[in-house]
Structure 1
Amino acid sequence: MVDQQAELCTELVSVRDFIRYGASEFNRAGLYFGHGTDNAWDEAVQLVCAAISLTGFDNPAILDARLTHSEKLAVLDYFARRVQQRLPAAYITRHARFCGLDFYVDERVLVPRSPIAELIEQGFAPWLTEQPDYVLDLCTGSGCIGIACAYQFPDALVALSDISADALAVAERNIDEHDLAHRVQAVQSDLFAGLDGQCFDLIVSNPPYVDDEDLADMPAEYQAEPEIGLGSGLDGLDFTRRLLAEAPDYLNDGGLLVVEVGNSAAALADAFPLLPFTWVEFARGGHGVFVLTREQLVAG
């Protein structure tokens, strides 16, 4: 291994060389991509940039820049971990982007990737017609959805709730890194139990929604993520059933509920035929996100 590493450090010189090598290694290893990139080349770019402390290649000349020996070793270490451990790249770099913002992530939380980002950037239009005063990010994980909402709605108070103390430690770190502790709070809660009867104008949730069969069949990269953030029973709806039953009591009049259920969307629609789900269509891809008002929840 040491001899091979030394040989690679001699043969590979430029940023471009390492990206090409990494992409080839990832393809040869049959890696799965779905945590921020969808192909081997972009995955290699992400890891090389992180290893040499660059945010991107605004100047194309960077591609032909030579790496120092220590930088080469750092890149090769990232590549080896990606191939051998099948870790999502974000767990290796401890960094993910969501809604154009930077977030710390590690194995205690899911890697941010929800299509809800597109809704946040649009201010949840056309369903949300007024700026919310109180926002809840339910099952917050890293806190990325709630923190992005705090940027979108600069006057709102935002609660980030999760049942996992480990996840909340990550969310609290991100609150601090974004300097939002004055109006964003992390709360440990099993659904609404720890929220002290608070009511919200907007509840956004990317809860666990993977059914048992899909969970067992997931690629290794997804198996590296915390199961508590993924699996939700036989049909993937254990959590969402509870959420729909309890949400009306925690939404203000005119309040909006936005929930991602992914591939469990069809099962949800079948289970609640009287609820008038609006399924969001995304310009940048993604599916399985519904919108309901408080009034629709109560009527249904």
Structure 2
Amino acid sequence: MTTQVHSQLRTIRDLLRFAISQFNKTGLHFGHGSANAYDEAAYLILKSLYLPLDQLESFLDAHVTTDECNHVLKIIDSRVKDRIPAAYLTHEAWLGEYSFYVDERVIIPRSFIAELLPTQLSPWIMDPDAVASALDLCTGSGCLAILMAHSFPNAAIEAADISVHALAVAHKNIQDYGLQERISLIESNLFSALEEKRYDLIISNPPYVNAESMAQLPQEYRHEPENALASGVDGLDATRQILQQAVRYLTDDGILVVEIGHNRAALEQAFSELPFTWLETSAGDEFVFLLQRDQLSR
């Protein structure tokens, strides 16, 4: 950004307008927390200036110092030129009312399962207090394990991931929420390191992007770990393994909940014998399925 640009941007309103123009001009992709240029620009500016995220109007005409302006413009420049997602620039991602630390060691949280956990998976789980053990498979940043801990207060939770780097991020988030006594981290390629443990509830947001979609991903998604996205030609490699093995790790009344992206038709064709229950989310009922142990054992 030139010195001339700096001198013309005096207020937060000026920075907001400038950022929106730059985001629209360069055709950024939004899919990591914000849906449009305005929301993303407002978030980045407020976060960069340590201002409350819900009070933009109060500060629009506030003047910024030269150092503040330089800092904000550096963030905008990284978003525009390098296509770095906002969550990696601020090291923060939100799921509902919960915020999590993120960096490029983990996929940016955006799971539909996060919408379902506050319901305590009613009516399939009749007594949330009776859930004694739970597993978050492919935990990444640990966000879903943390949400499970809040929804099922008596559950001992294990969070597994193939990536030791992802588990380091999950460890930080678990510490930030003070849940070290309730959530254990395990380095595991799906179920491989879990021995003969059994769980009342298993949730998973595994890799599910098919090869064709991987080849067409916007540049923003290229900053995320590829092994957290790609899952073979049809996007179902990880889900197949989960369906084939989960029955051994569920208690008699245990439940499996898995997110599978846009793969419902392919999954139902591949596993036509399974009576999937498709859970309603804000985007519809084709992204998350539920199966009970006895349904898997058939």
Where do 1:158-177 residues align within 5 Å? Answer: 158-177=157-176
Query: Which residue of the partner structure matches residue 233 of structure 2?
Result: 234
> In structure 2, do the counterparts of structure 1 residues 70 and 286 end up closer, same or farther at CA, with 3 Å as the change threshold?
farther
Query: Which residue of the partner structure matches residue 269 of structure 1?
Result: 268
Structure 1: distance between partners of 2:39 and 2:163: 31
Return 282-291 or 33-42, whichever deviates more.
282-291
Structure 1: distance between partners of 2:156 and 2:10: 50
TM-fit CA distance, 1:19: 1.5
Contact kept in structure 2, 1:99 and 1:121, CA below 8 Å: no
The residue type paired with residue 218 of structure 2 is P
The residue type paired with residue 246 of structure 1 is Q
Contact kept in structure 2, 1:115 and 1:287, CA below 8 Å: no
Structure 2: distance between partners of 1:291 and 1:158: 19
Structure 1: distance between partners of 2:283 and 2:238: 27
Return 202-211 or 93-102, whichever deviates more.
93-102
Structure 1: distance between partners of 2:105 and 2:233: 24
The count of aligned residue pairs is 296
RMSD across aligned positions (CA): 1.4
Structure 2: distance between partners of 1:295 and 1:198: 17
State yes or no: 1:77 paired with 2:74: yes
State yes or no: 1:11 paired with 2:8: yes
> In structure 2, do the counterparts of structure 1 residues 212 and 284 end up closer, same or farther at CA, with 3 Å as the change threshold?
closer
Structure 2: distance between partners of 1:286 and 1:59: 34
The residue type paired with residue 123 of structure 1 is Q
Structure 1: distance between partners of 2:84 and 2:284: 23
TM-fit CA distance, 1:8: 2.4
Query: Which residue of the partner structure matches residue 36 of structure 1?
Result: 33
Contact kept in structure 2, 1:99 and 1:148, CA below 8 Å: no
The residue type paired with residue 132 of structure 2 is D
TM-score (norm 1): 0.95
Return 118-127 or 81-90, whichever deviates more.
118-127
Where do 1:8-157 residues align within 5 Å? Answer: 8-58=5-55, 60-131=57-128, 132-157=131-156
TM-fit CA distance, 1:59: 6.8
Structure 1: distance between partners of 2:43 and 2:283: 20
The residue type paired with residue 225 of structure 1 is E
Task: Show structure 2 runs of 5+ residues with no match.
Answer: none
For residues 188-229 of structure 1, the C-alpha deviation after alignment (integer angstroms, 9 at most, x for no partner) is 011111123211111110000111111111111111110000
Structure 2: distance between partners of 1:49 and 1:125: 37
Structure 1: distance between partners of 2:119 and 2:211: 33
